[in-house]
């Protein structure tokens, strides 16, 4: 009895260590990365929700309402900041790791391997610390995968609860849930007719169903309707959910500026997530495995990769949707190979170790280096550290004298995100500098075409700063009032405007 008690305590300690490590890796230096413009857009949507009282679903936005309502709850509790924008995905990233610490599937090796692989996956770390939809969406993808694997083992109500919750969760986050479901259908086809019959066996479904599941389905459906209709204040939102697939498909195949080559994901994995690339290779072998479960997961993962590769429109954060499937492939192989103690197990283990080193290097470059490596493939059209320094200097001025919040700031550039969220508390003007210069402003953000107009209107010295505010964009010109910033801003600048000391 005493040894049993000790064993239970050890399990609790291990679980707690995993939880603390997941929290530490997801929340440590959460503001290390400069703000991404999509994070600013999401923050702005939440500000609008505060004004109108609900999220008005837009079928051309390609994102469901659940994320915005969750983020609205976070901001209501902890306010508006970069940390809060990123805390929500960080929580889901912790959840994603901790899912595999519970006995939802029987294999301890698969669960343990997934904990380790997801804990230190560069994609899960980087996008699990970014204020966008991807991490919550992938959490529900993982929930669905666990439901599929558990149903093959137990065919119980918990399996169905996982599948139903995951489907609604995915559908209320991103329209790409359709690709996920289609990929699982392909996975079942590769698993074979016998497995398909087992999965859709009416007797098993009937035996697993319960009154509790019926209540749960009702709650899920009501939640779905409430989210898409803005709690009945935007009834067309429910129909817009269906309409969203047309503009989504049009964007996917059209010329948008985000179009990439077919091998883009493979090349990205080679640099940023080499361990997942090993999983891609093993998935091809898994297609001809005798293990139906491995065939299913391999086919699912490869079909997802194929579809995302065929779609010209590629944004790097979608890689989070792809990598976990290949990690699950590796976890299943780990169960089969590592206990055999033959040359195959040693070869498999050696490649895992090499891939782990590659992943660790990628983790450092993208997440923990100070500053992070802005050339890392996961860091895409992101704000620069120069912009971060400008924001910090501006906030310092306001902290020293809040009256500056009442003085105009002109955001006079064509590219304006994420400034509506960054300068949410400021007296902002959005006229292009080349069209109109706001008199008396203490900060001007301009395209280079607006320089002459601004400098002609200045009535006192300003610091002219020419910087790239966002990756892969043109150089912008920022004017900072010299009397406010000369002791605060440490970047390079030139003094322009009349010199009060030498009129």
Where in 281-429 does DSSP place strands (E)?
A: 408-412, 427-429
Q: Which of 456, 458, 424, 425 is nearest to 441 (CA)?
A: 458
Where helices occur in 154-273 by DSSP H, the ranges are 157-171, 177-191, 193-199, 202-208, 211-228, 236-243, 245-253, 264-272
For the residues of 448-489, what is the DSSP string, one character each? GGGHHHHHHH-SS-EEEEEE--BTTS--EEEEEEHHHHTTT-
- Give me 284's structure tokens: 């091809």
CA separation for the pair 139, 162 (Å, rounded): 12
Going residue by residue through the chain, which has 503 residues, state the pLDDT in tens, using 9 for 90 and above: 555 565 888 889 999 999 999 999 999 999 999 999 899 999 999 999 988 999 998 887 768 899 999 999 999 999 999 999 999 999 999 999 999 999 999 999 999 999 999 999 999 999 999 999 999 999 999 999 999 999 999 999 999 999 999 999 999 999 889 999 999 999 999 999 999 999 999 999 999 999 999 999 999 999 999 999 999 999 998 888 888 766 555 554 555 557 889 999 999 999 999 999 999 999 999 999 999 999 999 999 999 999 999 998 889 999 999 999 999 999 999 998 877 778 888 899 899 999 999 999 999 999 999 999 999 999 988 999 999 999 999 999 999 999 999 999 999 998 888 889 999 999 999 999 999 999 999 999 999 899 999 999 999 999 999 998 888 778 899 999 999 999 999 888 999 988 755 44
Sequence-separated (6 or more) residues with CB below 8 Å from residue 453 = 433, 434, 437
Q: Are 333 and 281 in contact (CB under 8 A)?
A: no
Q: Are 429 and 441 in contact (CB under 8 A)?
A: yes
Q: Are 67 and 131 in contact (CB under 8 A)?
A: no
CA separation for the pair 171, 169 (Å, rounded): 6
CA separation for the pair 192, 123 (Å, rounded): 32
**Sign of the C-alpha dihedral, residues 475, 479, 484, 487?**
positive
């Amino acid at each position: 009895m005493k040894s049993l008690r000790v064993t239970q305590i050890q399990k609790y300690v291990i679980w707690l260590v995993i939880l603390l490590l997941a929290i530490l890796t997801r929340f440590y230096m959460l503001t290390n990365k400069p703000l991404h413009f999509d994070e600013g857009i999401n923050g702005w949507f939440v500000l609008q929700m505060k004004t109108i009282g609900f999220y008005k679903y837009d079928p051309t936005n390609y994102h469901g309402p659940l994320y915005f309502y969750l983020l609205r709850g976070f901001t209501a509790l902890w306010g508006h900041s970069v940390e809060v924008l990123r805390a929500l995905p960080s929580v889901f990233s912790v959840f994603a790791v901790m899912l595999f610490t519970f006995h939802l599937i029987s294999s301890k090796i698969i669960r343990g391997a997934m904990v380790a692989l997801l804990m230190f996956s560069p994609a899960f770390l980087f996008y699990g610390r970014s204020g966008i939809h991807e991490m919550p969406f992938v959490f529900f993808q993982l929930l669905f995968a666990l439901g599929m694997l558990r149903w093959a083992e137990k065919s119980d109500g918990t399996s169905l609860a996982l599948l139903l919750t995951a489907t609604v969760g995915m559908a209320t986050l991103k329209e790409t849930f359709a690709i996920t479901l289609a990929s699982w259908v392909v996975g079942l086809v590769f698993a074979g007719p016998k497995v398909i019959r087992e999965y859709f066996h009416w007797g098993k479904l009937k035996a697993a169903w319960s009154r509790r599941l019926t209540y749960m389905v009702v709650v899920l459906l009501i939640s779905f309707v409430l989210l898409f209709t803005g709690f009945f204040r935007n009834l067309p939102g429910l129909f817009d959910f269906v309409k969203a697939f047309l503009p989504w498909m049009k964007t996917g195949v059209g010329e948008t500026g985000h179009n990439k080559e077919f091998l883009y994901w493979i090349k990205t994995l080679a640099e940023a997530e080499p361990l997942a690339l090993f999983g891609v290779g093993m998935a091809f072998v898994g297609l001809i495995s005798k293990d139906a479960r491995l065939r299913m997961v391999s086919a699912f993962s490869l079909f997802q990769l194929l579809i995302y590769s065929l779609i010209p429109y590629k944004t790097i954060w979608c890689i989070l949707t792809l990598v976990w499937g290949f990690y699950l492939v590796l976890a299943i192989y780990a169960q089969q190979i590592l206990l055999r103690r033959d040359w195959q197990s040693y070869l498999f283990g050696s490649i895992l170790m090499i891939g782990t080193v590659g992943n660790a290097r990628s983790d450092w470059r993208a997440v923990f280096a100070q500053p992070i490596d802005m050339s890392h493939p996961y860091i895409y059209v992101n704000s620069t550290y120069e912009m971060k320094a400008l924001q910090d200097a501006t906030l310092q001025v306001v902290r020293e004298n809040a009256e500056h919040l009442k003085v105009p700031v002109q955001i006079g550039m064509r590219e304006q995100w994420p400034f509506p969220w960054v300068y949410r508390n400021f007296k902002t003007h959005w006229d292009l500098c080349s069209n109109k210069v706001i008199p008396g402003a203490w900060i001007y953000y301009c395209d280079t075409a607006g320089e002459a107009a601004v400098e002609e209107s200045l009535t006192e010295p300003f610091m002219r700063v020419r910087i790239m505010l966002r990756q892969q964009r043109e150089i912008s010109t920022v004017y900072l009032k010299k009397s406010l910033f000369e002791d605060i801003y440490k970047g390079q600048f030139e003094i322009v405007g009349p010199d009060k000391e030498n009129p």
